[in-house]
Structure 1
């Protein structure tokens, strides 16, 4: 039997309610992360010299605030016009693309440092990143244009969301997964080389090479690819998965950079053989 109009309205209302709860949760998590690192972050901002890398950090760190604000506005304001909703989706998607690009740049620069500033490798990674982002933008905004935008017809219920069963729904994050997989592969090569040379515990070398950050980035992309494929009913909640990846990737990239900078300020022990200094990530001699 076809669901009645009342059943559809109730289902839409519940979806909007769950989306609102998850958006608030993500916003709270991001705010908590910002507050918990406030002292370390302002120490970095006030004491570090101005470089392109510092500017990249600021963009990567604060663009998600605009991303979150746009999303919360879309969820918690009365919105009965699908065109307005699609416009807001496009706006927060632009912020999301900027945030993802900046975050991935940190992983590229970290890999560049791990490979002793190999310019050929840097040029290859930057070409791969630019190609990935261009394709990502084209596919993501195509998926938005072909998605169904749903608003609630129940008085008192606000917000809207998009859903789709198109293959375009997860293709952008398949590109990010492939790019992240390449960075993980390059980093693992350096881990194995260091392990054979230094003969230190493997876990220590993995930590020094920031493999946790790389692995989380790869896992996030894998989840965004697999969830829509394995569970078609999550399509209405797919924006939550998108938001989660944008925010967590920004946290991972900026935390990695902040941790490297603070470590660089306190490392004076010549016996720290596995440490790869923050100065090796300086963009003054690279292509960003």
Structure 2
């Protein structure tokens, strides 16, 4: 049983709560700033399309785990099982959100490579053979070995600190970093090629923003990786939550960009996924 002292409460609990508030603020502010684009480019289009379904999941699922985490970290619980059940539910929702975001990014990569079967095989193979098994193993071990912090024998804060310089939490972000590096590399290769051979403003914008978004994702993964190694008294879920929110925001803009009616007619000879 972990019984934290006042120093732990100041250095672990408060930063975790701050990350929750930052995540919620980013989520709500971005939604308000882009609501007009959502209405024009999503709700006024064909709602049954695969792109719309992905967008809606990516757009709204972060609200579930962000506000659930806000309630969780500001509430005193009275049993380890209650915390574990909440963490399992939140972890599933966060993992679903991250998976949908990365699916959107993979579809973008597949599309800008002209729907190459080799690129599709590379992305699917990396996901099935590397990412999914390792992440599932890490999540299983992390939740199996969880040990929450007790304020008193009957009062528990639902935060399980990262233990040691290397942990299952760290492995998750290593895998995410590997997968995003693969996507970023493929995107940058194609961006250089398109820049040399295309004069279409929209196509150049698509590739430029794709590279920028992948750089943001890579930086966030690196920050989270460092955080799980050095910030031992903060739970993994806070790191994953912030990354999930930022990836959701970036992926929303990917879909907005390819659906922007002001650019769709600018000399595009290439067909992109999710543009309908």
* Structure 1 and Structure 2 fold alike (TM over 0.5): yes
- Could you tell which deviates more after superposition, 119-128 or 99-108? 119-128
CA contact (8 A) 1:79 1:160 kept: yes
1:225 aligns with 2:221: no
Q: Gaps spanning 5+ residues in structure 1: where?
A: none
Shift of the alpha carbon at 1:255? 1.7
Shift of the alpha carbon at 1:144? 2.6
Shift of the alpha carbon at 1:139? 0.9
Encode CA deviations 1:237-266: one digit per residue, 9 max, x unaligned. 54322211111111111221122211x454
* 1:80 match: 78
1:31 aligns with 2:28: yes
- Identify the structure with bigger relative contact order (alpha carbons < 8 Å, sequence gap 6+): 2
* 1:9 match: 5
Equivalents in 2 of 1:261, 1:45: separation in Å? 8
* 1:182 match: 182
- Number of aligned positions between the proteins: 267
2:148 alignment partner, SS class: strand
Query: Which 4+ runs in 1 deviate beyond 4 A?
Result: 198-201, 204-207
1:1-288 matches, within 5 Å, as 8-14=4-10, 15-49=12-46, 50-131=48-129, 132-153=131-152, 159-163=157-161, 164-165=163-164, 166-198=166-198, 208=208, 210-229=210-229, 231=230, 233-262=231-260, 264-270=261-267, 280-282=272-274
CA contact (8 A) 1:70 1:92 kept: yes
Encode CA deviations 1:12-59: one digit per residue, 9 max, x unaligned. 433333322331222122111111111111222222212112111111
Equivalents in 1 of 2:15, 2:196: separation in Å? 50
2:256 alignment partner, SS class: helix
Equivalents in 2 of 1:206, 1:254: separation in Å? 13
1:162 alignment partner, SS class: coil
Equivalents in 2 of 1:200, 1:37: separation in Å? 25
In terms of Rg, which structure is larger? 1
Change (3 A) 1:267 1:280: closer
* TM-score normalized with structure 2 length: 0.85
CA contact (8 A) 1:173 1:221 kept: yes
Equivalents in 2 of 1:81, 1:11: separation in Å? 23
Equivalents in 2 of 1:39, 1:60: separation in Å? 17
RMSD: 2.8
Equivalents in 2 of 1:251, 1:216: separation in Å? 11
* TM-score normalized with structure 1 length: 0.82
